[in-house]
Amino acid sequence: MSRSFKLGVLAAAVMAAAPAAQAFEAGDFVVRAGAVHVAPDDSSDSITVGGAPLLGPGVDSRVTVDSNTQLGLRATYMFTDHLGLGVLGATPFRHNIYGGGDLPSDLKLGETKHLPPTLTLQYYPLASSSQFQPYAGIGVNYTVFFEEKTTSALSGAVATQYGIPGADTELELDDSVGVALELGMDYMLSDNFGLNAAIWWADINTDATVKVYDAAGNYAAETDEFEVELDPMVYMVGFTYTF
């Protein structure tokens, strides 16, 4: 019997005798970190002032929102072998706001940042001894918008349309509360460390207003409130650590 064959048999025996990597049990804390990509499935109301189109008759002014990727951090507490309470957090997402409707899709109108803390009740269907562990969750998302900005392109168009030389514009976005759904899976490489992938859908809608100020900074006008629906798909890949 060759030396290499003996070593191979010995290695196989050791692997067979070694305990399999475990998933999660009641009382465990599970931390996941990785890249999170937010891809809005966006739509918006037409923007009007006093019921009239923002940029004149026949111009359907709407907005679209681009995607963004940030560092995500999630934590779950397992209060049974099959149920956990999970929290999703991330570094602030930054989204550019572009034209929609009759406006050019490459016309940047503004930008905003948001934080989307999400709380979900998660169900893990397999035994805690399973090395592979899928899960599903349902919960609530609270999205906070901040650092909203408009561009000189939008301000210039409004200044021309309403005869307000040097006009400046300001964007306001309301916070959002909505349902969140998630699907994910972990593959444990050891008792404490593994790989993770997950997707979410979140119901994120915000009521928006654009206010207009003259060159001296005095309030001049504002748009009617219009709804912007983001409703993004959120994707995450990363690592899992349990203790």
- What pLDDT, on the 0 to 100 scale, is given for residue 55? 86
pLDDT of amino acid 149: 94
Is residue 154 within 8 Å of residue 116, measured between CB atoms?
no
Give the per-residue pLDDT at 99: 93
Identify the pLDDT of residue 22: 60
Q: Domain residue spans in the chain?
A: 26-242
Domain 26-242 has CATH 2.40.50.140: no
Report pLDDT for 23.
65
SS (H, E, C) 175-226: CEEEEEEEEEEEEECCCCEEEEEEEEEECCEEEEEEEEECCCCCEEEECCCE
Q: Where are the alpha helices (DSSP H) in the chain?
A: 3-17, 152-162
CA distance 201 to 140: 11
Structure-derived torsion over alpha carbons of residues 20, 21, 26, 31, reported in degrees to the nearest 10: 180
- The residue assigned the tokens 């030396």 is 3
Structure tokens at 102: 């009759």
> Which residue in 213, 228, 212 sits closest to 54, CA to CA?
212
pTM: 0.84
Q: Averaged in consecutive runs of 10 residues, what is the pLDDT profile of the chain (243 residues)? A: 45 44 82 96 93 89 95 95 94 95 93 94 93 96 95 91 90 96 96 95 95 92 93 96 94
The confidence score (pLDDT) of residue 4 equals 46
Question: What is the distance, to the nearest Å, from the Cα of residue 43 to the centroid of all Cα atoms in its chain?
Answer: 16
Please tell me the predicted confidence (pLDDT) of residue 21.
Answer: 53
